[in-house]
Chain A
């Protein structure tokens, strides 16, 4: 046997067209921003709609991130995810209503304090609920997609009915904390304070998730597990435990998204999570199942497009996201940033 020749490999640069094609999903957001600007024409209206779209996108991302990871890691389709959104909203709003003095006080500190407590309570309850949901409902149906759909839809219905039992059958109207009401004016555009907060929270969360995925071992395990769970186990990691952790975290994030959405709408219903799931599924599918980055870009596209179209052609707004999904799936049938599965 001969020895290998001296081996000095280099990595050639990709042609420009390939580099653009690879970066295209990320470029879609600025492209949509520019197209929206050109179509709307009025800078202040465009800015208002853009902030509104980004806020909506961020909230959908918060709800979708857990679902995409749960699917990516264990091939579990969880239609019950919507229940965590509703429960999160009800628990969070209960805190907001329970601390009425803090909510109504004209103090930013107290107002943010009540929102923080609402978020923590919602995430704790939905995290626990997610843990129980995984143990009781999801665990027995690993690997069987049809059964997963049936039992998780069943779980969703049961939890919605439990919300009726605990909080009553009616929708709950409430007011946002005092200092989060109203808007600020920037370059002639009215920007709702709460939407700015939602954008900030979504951004912080996305950056934090990216840091966890890129810089920590647990993040590496999750990313590798999405691609090839069997090999992760062969390296000595108990993927089942990691999955339970991801399921709990994903449920807690859905709860966070529920509180944020509830505070945004100022009305909550037991069916709100189920209604949001249509947008959440669109985002997860166009992003590429299992891809957090894809879900982030998908959520921004959905939020921005819905707001722009609602302004330009209100009648088309209802189908705009279905149209977006159709277009993206025709372009990339696996979604924008598909995770290459080894199985």
Chain B
């Protein structure tokens, strides 16, 4: 793969006394959506948290757009253009939707044109603009987390299970927003358990097992090969 936006080389990460990542090698291509797949507990979330810097890698290198960021602090990584949407959403429930968005625009005021685009993708955010984020429904909170990542131009989005636990109609809204991001040429590393979403959005896929990447390739190849899915993840995605 030529000139990936993100490259992980032999990443080992420990959480307390537990050795979670056992040498992750991963390349995330520019301007494409890479799905990070695998069973629960194989290290997908830890990989994203290591990239944003919430966990520091014990060994290995992280290269973002060619620059080494292995030892960089989280705020510096964010300011370099990495947007992070955590699995627990990480919204500030005491702050209003507007305040959440104001904060998300870290380098200056929120661009009105960008805000309007976000309203178009997620109409409920306009309705509840002045409401405390804690009063939103689960789906609306998830919309806010994606909207927050979109508040500024990011060079890479790390998104952790954005459709988890959401009603089908909201999943469709989320998928639409991610598709828009993709259309705009964003580079996305996406952890997703919903196969329909993964198949619809993913250009590439990487499958993890036991803290390592065990397969990487085009999403199309994985999506059409039930045997490969069974072998890598112990399930057939079509059967989901």
Contacts and interface: CB of A to CB of B under 8 A. Distances in A.
B172 A235 contact: no
* Interface size band for A: 20 to 34
B75 A233 contact: yes
A217 interface: yes
A227 B106 contact: no
B173 A7 contact: yes
B95 A234 contact: no
A10 B124 CA distance: 9
B103 A235 contact: yes
A221 B123 contact: no
B93 interface: yes
Contacts of B86: 231, 234
B99 A220 contact: yes
Contacts of A4: 169-170, 172-173, 176
B114 interface: no
Interface string B71-111: 00111001100001010101011110001101110110000
A339 interface: yes
A232 B104 CA distance: 9
Contacts of B106: 235-237
Interface residues of B, number: 44
DSSP majority for the A interface? loop
Given A223-B94, A223-B95, A342 B88 contact: yes
A4 to B, nearest CB: 4
B200 A10 contact: no
Nearest to A225: B92
Nearest to B197: A1
Interface of B: 52-54, 73-75, 78-79, 84, 86, 88, 90, 92-95, 99-100, 102-104, 106-107, 123-124, 127-128, 131, 134-135, 137, 140, 148, 168-173, 175-176, 196-197, 200
27 contacts: A1-B171, A1-B175, A1-B196, A1-B197, A3-B172, A4-B172, A4-B173, A5-B169, A7-B173, A9-B127, A11-B127, A11-B131, A217-B102, A220-B99, A220-B102, A224-B100, A227-B94, A233-B75, A234-B52, A234-B78, A234-B84, A234-B90, A235-B78, A236-B106, A237-B75, A237-B103, A340-B94
